[in-house]
Amino acid sequence: MRAALAEGEAALARREVPIGCVFVVRQGEENVAAEETVLTSGGNETNEEANATRHAEIVAIDRLFARVGPSAKDLLASSELFVTCEPCIMCAGALREVGVRKITFGCGNDKFGGCGSVITVDPDADLRAGLLADEAVSLLQKFYQRENPQSRDTLAAKFSAPSPSPTKVDQDVSADTLS
Amino acid sequence: MPDANDDDFRQVLSREHEALEKRRRRAAAGLETAPPKLRLALCATLLDKRDTGILLRALRETPSCALPEDLAHLRRIFKTPNDGPVKLLLCCSENPNDCTLPQGLEAMRDKLGDPEVIEIPESTPVSYEEARSWTMRYWPVNFIKSRAGLSLKPGLQVLDLTQSDRVQAGKYLRQVTALSASHQGKDAALIVEPNADVVVAKSLDTTTEEGHPLRHAAMNCINSTCARILQTRLSKQADAVPSPASAAGSRKRAKLDEEKHDSLAKETGDLENDDFPGFDPVNTYLCTGLDAYLSMEPCPMCAMALLHSRVRRVFYASPNPRRGALGSCARIHCHEQLNHHFQVFTCADPKPKES
């Protein structure tokens, strides 16, 4: 989870919603001093890519597929996910597609949570909640104290092109990219 | 396969709302609807009809006769048929045996007959027809349009597609099913700018080709759309200031996605590639205002990806009974908790996919 938080910190430095994750493979017996290998990791890239689907989990999965090709699916199926915030419905769906069942997350996600908060996408998933949740929350708070650089207002100011309707964006808009 | 009826769509609503719509349609067709929930009330016959005004004022000014907000559909006066006696609704009642005049109305005792306990509709009617049928059976009720629906977020409301909406939706839905059919029935997706009436991106499911289980048609289509938006934005930015080093990576990615899109566009003979009149990628926040057309109902991942991307409407051709998340197994778009809502439509007469 420390590694996932580090990915979150890195995302914050890139002015992204600070959520990070790692997929870990454990070798050896359970509960014995098992050897853990980080398979792949990722942080939110929604703002950089102007793509709301670039959540930490999707980024990490895509990285592994880019690196090892189709065999990534088997590797992922035997891995365990550690993510700072509860996976959203999209990510929970993606995790089910790639067969990741063991999911440990920090804080819950009342807005988009796909692991119990809003709906439960995969009833068979083995969930563990609340690991280092306070740190995950304080990381998010650091972000929301600032503005979201991709929100409509900021964009309109950045590109001086005439905006058709400069509507006021409420505080919540920055939360859409929450993983 | 496509025929004129393809332009007929059914909106996918929440189960609760769907039941309400069904009731509304049945009532409009003059069919039996569910009987209303009833409650007890006290009424009395007016001895002289000329006292109606005085009595109504007295009822308004007597606190114990006030009707609760959720009974605003009830009328106070019941003019019985054939110029019969006029009855007045005095107040709600809890006890069927208690026929005493409400407190504060004692001065009106000589103008009223003996009060009696009756049953009145507590539920709010959903249409004129329903209000009329309840009026005949129980007590006069009004149909109040603003109270007839459930209180729903704007995106969850029933949307009547205009004729031009239907024509446009029919055109693109046929296009996406044709795209799917011409690629061995693989799932296909289009993202469309509705005002300019142009396709922004079209994609197929590439899970098998890429050996990547997340490359569903809708996900690919969102990626292509975002890549195009980003590409345009970056080149605009490059015109203004030298591009920052950090943008180089995403520019490369955007380029890759762009090429992938172009190859499909060429393959399908699509010419709407270069510029979109009326579509302004720079000021587009994610996919706000765009419509998505899918050959098959999306899975939870794709449905939520569309929601995160803030699309305006989603149309799909065939339902996915196994894992569809916009009607079949779940109705993600109907969750009030989520921050964005889009309307979902499917063919009024869905044809199950043969496979």
Q: Which residues of B157-305 form beta strands (DSSP E)?
A: 188-193, 198-204, 291-296
* Structural domains counted in chain A: 1
For residues A142-167, give the mean pLDDT.
Answer: 51
* Whether pLDDT at B241 is above 50: yes
pLDDT in tens, B125-143: 888 888 888 998 999 999 8
Residues of A in contact with B254 (CB under 8 A): 49
Domain count, chain B: 2
Judging contacts by C-beta atoms under 8 Å, the chain A residues touching residue B249 are 48
pLDDT digits (tens, 9 = 90+) for B138-195: 999 998 877 666 555 655 677 778 889 999 999 999 999 999 999 999 999 999 999 8
Gap between the Cα atoms of B256 and B254, Å rounded:
5
Which pLDDT does position B161 carry in this prediction?
Answer: 86
Helix axes B300-308, B217-240, angle to 10 degrees: 30
Query: Is there a domain that residue B224 lies in?
Result: yes
B70 and B178 assigned to the same domain: no
Q: What are A124's two structure tokens? A: 């068979």
Q: What is the pLDDT of residues B90-127, one digit of tens each?
A: 999 888 888 888 888 888 889 999 999 999 999 888 88
Residue B270 in any domain: the answer is yes
Residues B235 and B311 in one domain: yes
Q: Indicate the length of chain A as a whole number.
A: 179
Pairing state between β A35-43 and A102-107: unpaired
Of A107-121, A134-148, B33-47, minimum mean pLDDT range? A134-148
Cβ–Cβ below 8 Å for B237 and A159: yes
**B218 and B312 both lie in a single domain:** yes
Domain that holds residue B96: 38-122
* Residue B185 CA to its chain's centroid (Å): 30
A contact residues 41-100, partner B, Cβ 8 Å cutoff: 45, 48-53, 58, 61-62, 65, 69-70, 72-73, 88-94, 96-98
Residues A18-52 as b/e (b if ≥16 CB within 10 A, e otherwise) read bbbbbbbbeeeeeeeeeeeeebbbbbbbbbbbbbb
| CATH, residue A97 | 3.40.140.10
**Torsion angle, CA of B8/B13/B17/B19, rounded to 10 degrees?**
60
Burial-class residue A165 by CB neighbours within 10 Å (0-12, 13-18, 19+): exposed
**Catalytic residue numbers of A?**
57
Dist. CA B50–CA B60, nearest whole Å: 17
Question: Structure tokens of B209?
Answer: 């080709």
Residue B116 lies in a domain: yes
Indicate whether this model's pTM tops 0.80.
Answer: no
The answer as to whether B240 is a domain residue is: yes
> Cα(A103)–Cα(A130) distance, rounded to whole angstroms?
11
The closest of B36, B90, B92 to B69, measured between CA atoms, is B92
Q: What is the DSSP string of A54-110?
A: --HHHHHHHHHHHHHGGGHHHHHHT-EEEEEE--BHHHHHHHHHHT--EEEEEE--T
